[in-house]
Structure 1
Amino acid sequence: MKITALLMLKCMPEGADPIILANACDVSHFGFFQRSSVREFIVFVSRTVAKRTPPGQRQSVQHEEYKVHSYNRNGLCAIGFMDDHYPVRSAFSLLNQVIDEYQKNFGESWRTAQADSTEPWPYLDNALTKYQDPAEADKLLKIQRELDETKIILEMTGKVVC
Structure 2
Amino acid sequence: MKLYNLSVLHKGDKVHLLKAAYDMSSFSYFQTSSIQEFMTFTSQLIVEHSEKGSRTSVKEKEYLCHVYVRNDSLAGVVIADSEYPSRVCFTLLDKVLDEFSKVVDRIDWPSGSPDTITYTALDGYLSRYQNPQDIDRMSKVQSELDETKIILINTMESLLKRGEKLDDLVFKSEELTTSTKTFYKTARKQNSCCEIM
TM-score normalised by L of structure 1: 0.80
Return the offset for 1:84: 0.6
Farther off after superposition, 118-127 or 55-64: 118-127
| Alignment partner of 1:47 out of 12, 34, 44 | 44
**2-side partners of 1:97 and 1:137: how far apart?**
12
**2-side partners of 1:44 and 1:71: how far apart?**
16
Residues 93, 137 of structure 1: 8 Å contact kept = no
Percentage of identical aligned residues: 32
Aligned-residue Cα RMSD (Å) equals: 2.3
**What SS does the aligned partner of 2:31 have?**
helix
**What SS does the aligned partner of 1:62 have?**
strand
Structure 1 residue aligned with 2:54: 57
**1-side partners of 2:125 and 2:50: how far apart?**
23
Structure 2 residue aligned with 1:159: none
**What SS does the aligned partner of 2:43 have?**
helix
**1-side partners of 2:106 and 2:135: how far apart?**
25
**2-side partners of 1:32 and 1:10: how far apart?**
29
Return the offset for 1:148: 4.5
**1-side partners of 2:75 and 2:108: how far apart?**
11
| Alignment partner of 1:121 out of 119, 122, 125 | 119
Residues 2, 81 of structure 2: 8 Å contact kept = yes
Q: What code does the residue aligned with 2:38 have?
A: F
Return the offset for 1:108: 2.1
* Higher gyration radius (CA): 2
Q: Name stretches of at least 5 consecutive residues in structure 1 with no aligned partner.
A: 156-162
**1-side partners of 2:88 and 2:58: how far apart?**
16
- Pair 1:84 & 2:63 matched: no
